[in-house]
Amino acid sequence: MQSSSYEDLRSRLLSRAITCEAVVRYYLDRIESHRSDNIYITVFHESALERARALDRKLSEGGTPGKLFGMPMAIKDNIAIKGGRLTCASKILENYESVYDATAVLRLEQEDAVFLGKTNMDEFAMGSSNENSAFGNVPNPFDKTRVPGGSSGGSAAAVASGLAMVALGSDTGGSVRQPAGFCDIVGLKPTYGRISRYGLVAFASSFDQIGVLARNCDDAALVLGVLAGNDGRDATSSLHPVADYAAEMATVPVEGLKIGVPKEYFPESLNPDVSRMVKGKLSELRDQGAELVSITLPDSEYAIAAYYILVTAEASSNLARFDGARYGYRSETAEDLAAMYVNSRTEGFGREVKRRIMLGTYVLSAGYYDTYYKKAQQVRRVFQDRYREALEKVDVIAGPTSPFPPFGIGDKTENPLEMYLADVFTVPASIVGMPAVSVPLGFDSLNLPVGMHLICNFFEEGKLLGIARHIQRSL
Ligand code: GLN
C-alpha cells in the first residue's frame, strides 16, 4: 500500500487498482499502531474516511480528479482546519476549535487531498526538538532515544514513518528544514510571501512561512504548485506569478551549475560526520560537472542573535491575543480581571513561550529598542544585501542543514542557547526571506540521518528543487 511517490499512488488510484478508502484506512491503521510515538495530536478518523469515500464516488461518477487526488496528508497543528481542533501544542489552546480554514488547507482540499490529522510540534512553533509541546515528545523514527527536530517534529516523523505521504509544516527559522534533515526527508521553505499565511497561527509574522515535508522533491514541487499564489487575505502574499515547478526542475543541469560554498558554513565545531558527508556530496557534484565556488558571508555569526531578537519581539506582540478572554484556556483561580489575564497566561503557556514573550517585550521596551530591536533590523538588512550579492555570482548556496545529527531527548532542554544553535544554518534564509530546502544525504556513522541545505534566490523554488532532486537521486 505504501507508494514511494504520489505519482505511483495516483496511477493506482486512477486506474482503480485501489480505492481512496483503502488507502486512508491503511494510513489510519498505521497511525493507530504508532500511537505511542505521539506524532499526531488529533486524528481525523471519521472525516478522513468520509472524504475518501466521497472521492471514490467522484471518480466512479466520472468527475475530474484534482491534482492531489487522494493524497493522504498531515497538517501541522498551527494551521487552521475549520471545525477541527487547533492547539499549537499549547495548553492555552488545548480545546480551541478553528472557525475557518487556512488558505493553504482550502487549496489542498480543492485539489482533492485527504487530511489524516494534525501533527505534534513545539508549542507555538518555538523550538528545535519538539520537546516544547504540551502534548509530549515525539521520538526520532530512526532512533527513539533522540529528537525528530522541531518545531515541525510531528510532521517530519509522520512522513518518515509512513503515517502520511506529505505533511505541511511551518518554518520561521528552520522548523521545516531542520526536522526534515533529522528525519531523512525533503523539507522545503518557499520564498517569504509565496504561500499565504492566512490561517497559520502567527509566531513571527515577517519570518513565518508554510512549508512542505515530503519523501521526494517531485511530491514537494507538486504540493507547492497547489499552495503557491497570491491571496487577498494575506497582505504579505506575493503577486509574483507561480511557476510550473515540474517543468523548471527538469531544466536544471548539474553541468555548469555554480555552487557557492561559504566558509562560514563549515566551522571548526561542525560535527565531523556532517562535515564529511556534505563535503563528500559537494565533491561528487563537482565530478559531475558542477563548479564549486568558495564564497564568504561575513557576519554570519550574528544570524542567531539577530533572529532571536526579531522573532521574540514579533512573538511578544502576536501572542498578546491569548489573554484568557478571547481564545482558549481561562484560569479559574482569578479574582479580578487583571489576575484573570495574568493567571491564564501563566498557567496556559509553557516555559519557552514565556521566555520568548519576556525577551521580546524587553527588546521592544523604550530603553532598549534602539540597542537591540533596531540594531537587529539593521543586521537583517545587511544579511539581505550579502545573500543577494552572493547569489549574483552563484546559482545556489550549499551547506549542512544542522551542525549536528539528531541529539538525545533531554540533551539540550536545560540550555536554551545551545538549543538555539541548532538553527545556525537555517536561520539566514529566513532572515533574508529566500527559499531553502533540506535534502537527505543518507546516514552517518551512528546510522543517524544527515541533511544538506540549499538556498536559492527569491522565487527560484523550481531551480532549488531541481538541484535537490539531483542530490537525492544520486544517493
Ligand atoms: N527553532 C527555531 C525557533 O525556535 C525555529 C522555529 C521555527 O522555524 N518555527 O525559533
pLDDT in tens, the chain (475 residues): 678 899 999 999 999 999 999 999 999 999 999 999 999 999 999 999 999 999 999 999 999 999 999 999 999 999 999 999 999 999 999 999 999 999 999 999 999 999 999 999 999 999 999 999 999 999 999 999 999 999 999 999 999 999 999 999 999 999 999 999 999 999 999 999 999 999 999 999 999 999 999 999 999 999 999 999 999 999 999 999 999 999 999 999 999 999 999 999 999 999 999 999 999 999 999 999 999 999 999 999 999 999 999 999 999 999 999 999 988 899 999 899 999 999 999 999 999 999 999 999 999 999 999 999 999 999 999 999 999 999 999 999 999 999 999 999 999 999 999 999 999 999 999 999 999 999 999 999 999 999 999 999 999 999 999 999 999 988 7
Angstrom distance (rounded) from CA 159 to CA 168: 10
pLDDT at 327: 87
Task: Using the mean position of ligand 1's atoms as its centre, give its distance from the Cα of residue 243 in Å.
Answer: 28
Task: Using the mean position of ligand 1's atoms as its centre, give its distance from the Cα of residue 110 in Å.
Answer: 30
pLDDT at 174: 98
How far are the Cα atoms of 76, 298, 449, 459, 472 from residue 281, in angstroms, in the given order? 31, 24, 14, 25, 10
CB under 8 Å to 473, separation ≥6 — which residues?
A: none
CB under 8 Å to 378, separation ≥6 — which residues?
A: none
Task: Using the mean position of ligand 1's atoms as its centre, give its distance from the Cα of residue 377 in Å.
Answer: 18
Ligand 1 closest atom vs CA 126: 4
Per annotation, catalytic residue among 3, 128, 151, 152 = 151
Task: Using the mean position of ligand 1's atoms as its centre, give its distance from the Cα of residue 56 in Å.
Answer: 39
114, 124, 113, 42: which is closest to 83 by C-alpha? 42
Q: Is 173 in the pocket of ligand 1 (CB under 6 A)?
A: yes
Q: Is 316 in the pocket of ligand 1 (CB under 6 A)?
A: no
Residue 76 pairs with which residues in a beta bridge?
Answer: 119
In this structure, what C-alpha cell is assigned to residue 178?
531542520
Contact 60, 69 (CB under 8 A): no
In this structure, what C-alpha cell is assigned to residue 320?
498578546
Task: Using the mean position of ligand 1's atoms as its centre, give its distance from the Cα of residue 179 in Å.
Answer: 11
In this structure, what C-alpha cell is assigned to residue 352?
519557552
Angstrom distance (rounded) from CA 422 to CA 145: 18
pLDDT at 170: 98
Task: Using the mean position of ligand 1's atoms as its centre, give its distance from the Cα of residue 6 in Å.
Answer: 29
Residue 200 pairs with which residues in a beta bridge?
Answer: 79
Single-letter amino acid code for the residue at 203: F
Is residue 279 part of the annotated active site? The answer reads no
Q: Is 125 in the pocket of ligand 1 (CB under 6 A)?
A: yes
Task: Using the mean position of ligand 1's atoms as its centre, give its distance from the Cα of residue 51 in Å.
Answer: 33
Single-letter amino acid code for the residue at 76: K
The neighbour count for residue 3, using CB atoms within 10 Å, is: 18
Is residue 151 part of the annotated active site? The answer reads yes
Ligand 1 closest atom vs CA 127: 4
Query: What SS3 class is residue 136?
Result: coil
Nearest CA to ligand 1 atom 10: 126
Residue in the block written with cell 532572515? 431
pLDDT at 474: 81
With the most atoms of ligand 1 within 8 angstroms of its CB, the residue from 423, 425, 438 to mutate is 423
Q: Is 350 in the pocket of ligand 1 (CB under 6 A)?
A: no
Nearest CA to ligand 1 atom 4: 127
Task: Please tell me the total number of residues recorded for the chain in this structure.
Answer: 475
Residue 97 pairs with which residues in a beta bridge?
Answer: 85
Is residue 76 part of the annotated active site? The answer reads yes
Per annotation, catalytic residue among 3, 90, 175, 402 = 175
Ligand 1 closest atom vs CA 171: 8
pLDDT at 1: 65
pLDDT at 436: 99
Task: Using the mean position of ligand 1's atoms as its centre, give its distance from the Cα of residue 424 in Å.
Answer: 11
pLDDT at 328: 87
> Cis peptide before 151, with omega less than 30 degrees from 0?
yes
Q: Is 171 in the pocket of ligand 1 (CB under 6 A)?
A: yes
pLDDT at 3: 80
pLDDT at 4: 81
Q: Is 157 in the pocket of ligand 1 (CB under 6 A)?
A: no
CB under 8 Å to 466, separation ≥6 — which residues?
A: 217, 248, 249, 250, 251, 252
With the most atoms of ligand 1 within 8 angstroms of its CB, the residue from 126, 171, 182, 308 to mutate is 126
Angle (nearest 5°) at CA 137 between 133 and 143: 145
Q: Is 311 in the pocket of ligand 1 (CB under 6 A)?
A: yes
Q: Is 360 in the pocket of ligand 1 (CB under 6 A)?
A: no
Q: Is 151 in the pocket of ligand 1 (CB under 6 A)?
A: yes
In this structure, what C-alpha cell is assigned to residue 393?
555570482
Query: What SS3 class is residue 449?
Result: strand
pLDDT at 475: 73
Contact 42, 81 (CB under 8 A): no
With the most atoms of ligand 1 within 8 angstroms of its CB, the residue from 124, 175, 308 to mutate is 175
Helices 217-227 and 103-110: crossing angle, nearest 10°? 110
Report CA torsion sign: 390, 392, 393, 395. positive
